[in-house]
Amino acid sequence: MAGNAELPAIPDRTVSDAVETFAASNNVPKHVAIIMDGNGRWARARHLPRVAGHRAGAQAVRKVIESAIRSGVAWLTLYAFSSENWRRPADEVIDLTGLLRHYLRHEVAELHSQGVCLRFIGERDRFDGDIQADLKSAEALTVGNSRLNLVIALSYGARGEIVAAVRRAIGLVQSGDRSLDQIDEAVFGSLLETRGMPDPDLLIRTSGEHRLSNFLLWQCAYTEFVFQDVLWPDFGPNEFSAALAEFTKRERRFGARPS
């Protein structure tokens, strides 16, 4: 059996010409990835339970999707739940998965009407069956949309993703589908969960932390990082614009000599 046999097919999608033209002319990053951090501290500062911070964080998710659409960003990837987050206290895990369930049931129709194409990366089989079914139907409903590709990382961990890709690569070689020499960066990238996606141009992390926390380790090889002190629930259009403005100042050389 080929090593990537269990991977579902991802249909080809292109962003509309108008958005691409706008993005190119304004040096807007094609793909923005965000580590949404600081919900707990936001809640603590207000003497609220942590779940209130996560609920406020979900409101900020709505706003950032609107900002991304308005800015002409083609891909937005949000780190909503890491594979390590299962180790949080049981009541917080229940709150977070409950919030996800609510989000999927109540927001997907609106996202669809806005032309958002949804895709989920991560170990979806660790979630309850009803959530897995909702993830699948949200992807199926929105697969034809192209205004914004919204990728939500759920129970995602980059090291686990890379190890799974290594196993798939070994499977391809063992089955004779590929020779060892044919396993190059492009083939390896196609075995990751992010296959078919451009690498992030810009990664934003909120809450003043300066870490990647096991997020998109392979994909961020040449990504520009912007760290902001704002706590995620307070992140809005101004913070998004500020990050995009900072991005436009960066000179990206991808390892080449300065001209």
Q: Which of 12, 27, 37, 125 is catalytic?
A: 37
* C-alpha span between 206 and 53 (Å, rounded): 14
Look up 85 and say whether it is catalytic.
yes
Question: What's the closest the beta carbon of residue 151 comes to ligand FPP, in angstroms?
Answer: 11
For residue 126, the tally of other CB atoms under 10 A from its CB is 14
Q: Which is nearer to ligand FPP, 15 or 108 (CB)?
A: 108
Catalogue the long-range contacts made by 193-198 (C-beta closer than 8 Å, 24 or more residues apart). Answer: 193/121, 193/122, 193/156, 193/161, 194/121, 194/151, 194/219, 195/7, 195/10, 196/10, 196/12, 197/31, 197/75, 197/77, 197/149, 197/151, 198/30, 198/31, 198/74, 198/75
Among 33, 61, 116, 197, binds ligand FPP (CB under 6 A): 61
CB 80 within 8 A of CB 36: yes
Look up 37 and say whether it is catalytic.
yes
Question: What's the closest the beta carbon of residue 121 comes to ligand FPP, in angstroms?
Answer: 13
Q: Which of 12, 26, 39, 85 is catalytic?
A: 85
Among 7, 10, 93, 99, binds ligand FPP (CB under 6 A): 99
Question: What's the closest the beta carbon of residue 206 comes to ligand FPP, in angstroms?
Answer: 9
51 binding ligand FPP? (CB under 6 A): no
Stretch that binds ligand FPP, among 35-43, 119-127, 215-223, 249-257 (CB under 6 A): 35-43
What percent of the residues of the chain are helix, what percent strand, and what percent coil, each to the nearest 5? Answer: 50, 15, 35
Among 152, 172, 230, 244, binds ligand FPP (CB under 6 A): 152
* C-alpha span between 142 and 180 (Å, rounded): 37
100 binding ligand FPP? (CB under 6 A): yes
**3 state SS for 44-65:** HHCCCCHHHHHHHHHHHHHHHH
Stretch that binds ligand FPP, among 10-18, 31-39, 127-135, 155-163 (CB under 6 A): 31-39
> Which stretches of the chain bind ligand FPP, using CB under 6 A?
36-41, 54, 57-58, 61, 80, 85, 99-100, 103, 152, 207, 232
Catalytic residues: 37, 85
